Amino acid sequence: MAKSQQTYSKSEKEKKRLKKREDKKKKMEARKLEKEEGGSKGIEFAYVDHNGHLTDTPPDPSLKIKVKAKNIEISIPKTLEGDKEEVDYVRKGTVSFFDPSKGFGFIIDSENQEKYFTHVSGLVDEIVENDKVTFELEKGQRGMNAVKVTLVK
């Protein structure tokens, strides 16, 4: 007798394929019945109320706010001349450590007591420890550095 050409795995695959087709047919018939009965709601909506919260009920039209398109600004807010504050970038502090042989030191800011690194290349006047100085900050490799360091007279 001749042996069947169909192996176990082939027959299993065929059974799965037929079962999938049957399930799909059943789902389609169930949807048709639901549609005929009028039980389907269709697509459900989510609404945004006047407070910006998501709800399932439509918003009250009396609470709607009218906004004219010309009143919408998509930019940086305009400032008035009188509103401008002078920002002082010059800070005051005290030299806590300075080594002239190595060419660097540290300055403690008098406002926030933060310690800033300074290098001899950022000095305007020569400084020593405990000198009162003014300086500006600049972003360095490891944080903020004090530059344009001058003595307070």
CATH for 96: 2.40.50.140
- pLDDT per residue as tens digits for the range 132-142: 999 999 998 88
Share of the chain above pLDDT 90, in %: 42
Q: Has residue 120 been placed in a domain?
A: yes
pTM of the model: 0.44
* Count of domains for the chain: 1
User: What amino acid occupies position 74?
Assistant: I
- pLDDT per residue as tens digits for the range 54-93: 888 888 888 888 889 988 878 876 666 555 555 568 899 9
Q: Has residue 69 been placed in a domain?
A: no
CB 119, CB 111: distance < 8 Å:
no
Is the pLDDT at 128 greater than 70, yes or no? yes
Q: Has residue 12 been placed in a domain?
A: no
Find the domain containing 127 and state its range: 91-151
Half-sphere exposure of 5 (CA within 13 A, CB side): 0
Q: Has residue 9 been placed in a domain?
A: no
Is the pLDDT at 28 greater than 90, yes or no? yes
Please tell me which residue, 134 or 2, carries the higher pLDDT value: 134
Task: Give CA torsion, residues 133, 137, 140, 146, to 10 deg.
Answer: 0
Q: What is the DSSP string of the chain?
A: -PPPS--HHHHHHHHHHHHHHHHHHHHHHHHHHHHHHT----S---EE-TTS-EESSPPPGGG-----GGG---SPPP--GGGPPPP---EEEEEEEEETTTTEEEEEETTT--EEEEEGGGBSS---TT-EEEEEEEEETTEEEEEEEEE--
Q: Has residue 132 been placed in a domain?
A: yes
Q: Has residue 130 been placed in a domain?
A: yes
Q: Has residue 55 been placed in a domain?
A: no
Q: Has residue 109 been placed in a domain?
A: yes
Q: Average pLDDT of 34-56?
A: 77
